[in-house]
Chains A and B, each alone.
Chain A
Amino acid sequence: MLRSRIRLTPEKLVTNHRRFLILPCMIQVCRLAKRFGGLTAVDGIDFEIPPGQTFGLLGPNGAGKTTTIHMLVGLLRPDGGEICIQGDSDPTRPAVRQHMGVAPQALSLYEDLTATENLAFFARLYGLRGRRLRERVAIALRRAGLFERRRDRVKTFSGGMKRRLHLACALVHEPSVLLLDEPTIGVDPQARHHILADIEALKQEGCTILFTTHYMEEAQRLCDRVAIMDHGRILVMDTVPNILAQHGGRAVVRAELDHPPTDPDSLPGHVEGDSVIVETDRPFEAVKQLAAAGVSIRNLSLHQPDLETVFLKLTGRRLRD
């Protein structure tokens, strides 16, 4: 563990440990490991998140995402490796946690309290009081779209509303670092959209965000960088376009024709029955070629490589069964 207590701020690019590069990082993790008995839940992972970036930890069930987050907030003691959050190596220190917002995977709301009471309680734990407390609670309520329901008990809320409030409780005290463990788990598409829009807005405001998910499209939409995790290890870590370029393979254009082509050789790609399938880096060009060949197309589909494809390629398994 790091012993130094020097604060690392983005302005003062100081490092408190030789092993870390001189980088203005909000979160740095080095060879972090956690075992539960014989099971290695997290197996020596490294990553770092510069201020204002959104970092996604992607992986299937049991990949070790929650375990990683719990070590980052000090709920679990790592068996190996180092953690550094805003220059501090001990995430159990109240001064470190003060600037962190956490939304655990399991809903953590008091069902018998109202939305306002929940938010106010968590805000008070972070030292807010008086007018600022009321302002922050009101802002969080509006942001979660729950202002009209603020006086209702949480147990009367729908699953999506609870998730939104759960997220609001994590950011009511304006943290500079947000750790979100599967913020959209178990919600309908509408609530998911709302939550993702929330996270996008936070990103605009300069918040540093680490979030975990099984949903590739969420990571693709939100993350500056993504790490794909499986069995406690990070398989790849980069920006989404870079990962796709390196591991995603090519786009697939599939054109179903009205009649089987008379001259298959004049067409790009290969023919299967009455369909033409083209694997290409430039799908638009392929479509233009098909149109130029004068075939009559009944149906056209384009499959762009995504992180799901990458995961399948790297592990031979799908993310969700």
Chain B
Amino acid sequence: MRTIFIIAGKDLLLRRRDRLGFFWWMVGFPLIIAVLIGTIFAGVLEGPADPMAVAVVDEDSSASSKAFLQTLRESEGLLIRELSLADARQAVRQGRLGGFIVLRKNFVCSPAILWGEPLPLAIGMDPSRAAESAYLRAMVQQAVIRHLRDQWVVDSAGREGVRLGDIETIALDTSSARPRSSFEICFPLGILWGLMGLAAEFAMGIVHEREAGTWLRLRAAPIRRAHVLGGNGVACLVACLGVMVFLLVVGRLFFGVRWQSPAALVMALPCIGLFFVGLTMLLSVLGRTESSVGGAAWACLLVMAVLGGGMVPQMFMPEWINVAGNLSPIKWAILALEGAIWRGFSVAEMVRPCGVLLAQGLICGAAGVAVSSRSSP
């Protein structure tokens, strides 16, 4: 065991001496990914959607149209601005507003519309935005009905007339099963990119050693091949754990990334680390020279990353990629990290991602060790 640690210590020292590589993979690259993507997607997840900004063109300008305009203003889902028709068209075309409502001349909002009379108003929308168009129509209809009801309530001197029943809403407690911010999604991504970088670096380091005379020298020392491989593995594991802990701490301190289930985190980190150790062993036999291994390693890593949702968060990916991604260990690693960070996984729920990672790591590692034993003294 001591020999393994001696070799691991040497490996880590060599990695650390390569200052640029070390800081880039340990610190710079993962942080850039986490913070940059986190910031880009920040709007997507945060809070309820903003009210839809629309323009109102009041062609009538009568007391009746003004009263309806007021009802529209009271709609929670709409943010109203009064504009001329030309300005409203321009704003919608440029995407500054979601749509516009025209209140026609001689505007009256009478109960006759309940019997098929056309509404004296029109809606202008970008036709490609079907969902928003439907939303705006629903908001307007709601405003019409509210407006009619209010008229009736006033007319019948305090007696309630027509009244739409409220729709009951069921409040779901989604706070724990939802990421609280995009950083909670992007820090796992950043961590995974950091680990992929480390795996490529360590694989290249192993090949470098095999290319250089030091491998022969080690093999002539009173140690076994298992010691050398074990040392490489321990060094890689320590570096992986270092990257993960570092980014999780930075995420927690500065970006509000939670560690929701510490037990899940304790399971996730070593399993992910061990997977990357196995992967490194396999990557190190993909070529004979340092540069060929570097190229081949990144090619494999990129495919795994795309499939596993390491490029773009999986929630923004088409369904079929999510299915294919089940093969990618990156997906399971992200799931394990998310399980610990915001999905609130129990230990039982962590068994699946962790088990898959360990199995994949074992397969990769065994294949890598078998090939390397066959091809070098």
Contact = CB atoms under 8 A, between A and B. Distances in A.
Interface of A: 70, 73-76, 94-98, 100, 102, 104, 106-110, 112-113, 117, 121-122, 124-127, 153, 169
Interface stretch (B109-117, B211-219, B259-267, B316-324): B211-219
A125 B213 contact: no
Given A106-B213, A107-B213, A108-B214, A125 B223 contact: yes
A108 B213 contact: yes
Given A76-B377, A98-B222, A121-B10, 19 more contacts: A73-B220, A94-B224, A95-B222, A96-B222, A97-B221, A100-B220, A102-B221, A106-B212, A106-B216, A108-B213, A108-B214, A108-B216, A109-B213, A110-B10, A113-B17, A122-B221, A124-B6, A125-B222, A127-B222
Nearest to B217: A108
A27 to B, nearest CB: 15
A75 B14 contact: no
Interface residues of B, number: 21
A102 B222 contact: no
Given A104-B216, A108-B216, A126 B10 contact: no
Nearest to A117: B13
Contacts of B18: 112
Question: Taking chain B's interface residues, is the majority helix, strand, or loop, or is none over half, making it mixed?
Answer: helix
Interface of B: 3, 6-7, 10, 13-14, 17-18, 212-214, 216-224, 377
Contacts of B223: 94, 125
Contacts of A100: 220
Contacts of A112: 14, 17-18
A55 B135 CA distance: 94
Contacts of B6: 121, 124-125
A307 to B, nearest CB: 28
B13 A113 contact: yes
Q: Which residue, of B3, B17, B213, B214, has the highest number of chain A Cβ atoms within 10 A?
A: B214
A114 to B, nearest CB: 10
B222 A75 contact: no
Nearest to B3: A125
A97 B218 contact: no
A74 B220 contact: yes
25 contacts: A74-B220, A75-B220, A95-B222, A96-B222, A97-B222, A98-B222, A100-B220, A108-B212, A108-B216, A109-B213, A109-B214, A112-B14, A112-B17, A112-B18, A113-B13, A117-B13, A121-B6, A122-B221, A124-B6, A125-B3, A125-B6, A125-B218, A125-B223, A127-B222, A169-B217
